[in-house]
A and B are shown apart, each in its own frame.
Chain A
């Protein structure tokens, strides 16, 4: 009983290899920036984690939540995928903030500033922490899943705000380098730096996929074990009531309500 399979092992090896190659390119091969010096090497973590958290992780969470709420596509799996992707996304957005803060200290001279991009990203982090908290509130599984799906869709509203914050407000944070719609085919970064950044996006995407698959399978196993334990407990109590010749209605009712009156 495990969350691993042949496919995830191959994916894991590919993830490790691409991360190792990224680290070598970022720390050894890629040159220091004229202005940022060695601090530019932090961007090979900061940019991919931000991209993955905002657009991929929270995008998948939102899509899975919509699919869960839509009656024709409703499936328990979508709820699990939404929760798992949000959890990985919170990890990545936390890393974005932490590594960005270190980069800010060495480049701007401060660990944190109430810049529009930074503040909206911090709000995003808190929103999805709240989403994960909502998923843990004890309730009927169907009610809890529906409630969580609505919160996930509402939280995603902050993603375009984070993306456009550098255009809407005068910010200390630099505008988009790769995903600038006006210079998509002519990015303001080139050579080894560009290839290192693109490879790191691939490496972190593989890591995201590996973590997501394991997390979904783990959630599935936990539900199976919970269901089986409940079935066993009910069967045992029924057998006990039948053996004693006593009416088991109260016992069943007690179990059904989880002991709460």
Chain B
């Protein structure tokens, strides 16, 4: 391999390594955002933390009924 090939390899490794690390941080940030704003059980996206507060469930039962963590 020529010197230019080694130089290209060195710069390529650097760009890929930094790119992978930035991508890793970006993916973790996406995960945090998803955990902070989980979709409610009725399919609605919550604006805050946890399921969205509603007056009644989809079947008309009062809030909380049938909504227990197993």
A1 touching B32, Cβ below 8 Å: yes
B50 touching A45, Cβ below 8 Å: no
**Nearest CB in chain B: distance from A162 CB, A:** 20
CA A5 to CA B14, docked complex, whole Å: 26
In the bound complex, residues from chain B placing their C-beta under 8 Å from that of A94 are 17
In the bound complex, residues from chain B placing their C-beta under 8 Å from that of A102 are 6, 9-10, 13
CA A221 to CA B69, docked complex, whole Å: 25
Least CB separation from B7: chain A residue: A41
A218 touching B25, Cβ below 8 Å: yes
How would residues 1 to 45 of chain B score, 1 for a CB under 8 Å from any chain A CB and 0 otherwise? 101101101110110011001100100110011011100000000
Least CB separation from A222: chain B residue: B32
CB of A214 closer than 8 Å to a CB of B: yes
B32 touching A225, Cβ below 8 Å: yes
Residue of A98, A237, A239 with highest tally of chain B CB at under 10 A: A98
Tell me the A20-53 residues at the B interface (CB within 8 Å).
23, 27, 37-39, 41-42, 45-46, 49
A218 touching B9, Cβ below 8 Å: no
Q: Which of A63-71, A144-152, A228-236 forms part of the interface with chain B?
A: A228-236
Residues of A contacting B: mostly:
helix
With contacts A37-B3, A232-B49 taken as known, whether A218 is within 8 angstroms of B28 at the C-beta atoms is yes
Interface residues on A, range: 35 or more
> Which of A38, A49, A98, A215 is in CB contact (< 8 Å) with B7?
A38
B3 touching A39, Cβ below 8 Å: yes
In the bound complex, residues from chain B placing their C-beta under 8 Å from that of A95 are 13-14, 17-18
CA A25 to CA B9, docked complex, whole Å: 18
CB of B68 closer than 8 Å to a CB of A: yes
How would residues 197 to 228 of chain A score, 1 for a CB under 8 Å from any chain B CB and 0 otherwise? 00000000001000100110010011011001
CA A222 to CA B32, docked complex, whole Å: 6
In the bound complex, residues from chain A placing their C-beta under 8 Å from that of B6 are 38-39, 42, 102-103, 105-106
Least CB separation from A84: chain B residue: B25
In the bound complex, residues from chain B placing their C-beta under 8 Å from that of A215 are 25
Interface residues, chain B, with chain A CB atoms under 8 Å away: 1, 3-4, 6-7, 9-11, 13-14, 17-18, 21-22, 25, 28-29, 32-33, 35-37, 49-50, 64, 68-69
Interface residues, chain A, with chain B CB atoms under 8 Å away: 1-3, 23, 27, 37-39, 41-42, 45-46, 49, 91, 94-95, 98-99, 102-103, 105-106, 207, 211, 214-215, 218, 221-222, 224-225, 228-229, 232-233, 236-237, 239-240, 243
